[in-house]
Amino acid sequence: MGDTKSIGVAYRDQDIDGGVIGRTNPQFMRGTTVYATQELGYCSCAFGEVTQLTNKSTAVTLNTPTGRITMNNASLGNNSTVVFRMNNSTIKTNDVLILNISGGVAGVGDYLAYVGDIGTGYADISLANRKGGGGGSLSEAVKITFTLIGNRDD
């Protein structure tokens, strides 16, 4: 079926199933739906790691679209929330930052991590101590894994 409508340099109806788009050079792919049969995400070369120094409110810098932040193990009081800034040159104002707690914690559900603000070059990330029943302060090096979804309409 392919190669039937010449447009001068190539053919309009080329079959790219099974091909790799942007293997050597990044390519834009436009359409209304993208389906993946396995994994959809970044390659390992786009992943970075950083360790937070000093305390839980200390800013970190990691200029990759996906990665892991290991937070400082300073104490966070019961029902308290701390905010720190992640400086990241790949973030734009209308992007979406997905994050989750991926390790360094003793109890499931003791913490809640979320993005409080995002702008060009940064995201403000909040970590809340949600240990119930007056569980007291927590002093753990929480690991937060994140992935950026670019919305280039800004």
Q: Collapsing DSSP states into helix, strand and coil, what is residue 98?
A: strand
pLDDT in tens, 7-40: 555 555 555 555 556 556 656 666 666 667 777 7
Task: Pick one of 3.40.50, 2.60.120, 1.20.1740, 2.60.40 as the CATH number of 44-149.
Answer: 2.60.120
pLDDT in tens, 82-126: 999 999 999 999 999 999 999 999 888 899 999 999 999 999 999
- Report the Cα 40 to chain-centroid distance in Å: 13
Spell out the domain ranges in the chain. 44-149
Residue percentage of the chain with pLDDT more than 90: 58
Burial class of residue 58 in the structure, from the number of CB atoms within 10 Å of its CB (0-12 exposed, 13-18 middle, 19+ buried) = middle
C-alpha span between 34 and 44 (Å, rounded): 21
pLDDT in tens, 31-69: 666 667 777 778 888 999 999 999 999 999 999 999 999
Instruction: Give which of 108, 46, 101, 110 is closest to 71, Cα–Cα.
Output: 101
What's residue 148's pLDDT? 94
Burial class of residue 145 in the structure, from the number of CB atoms within 10 Å of its CB (0-12 exposed, 13-18 middle, 19+ buried) = middle
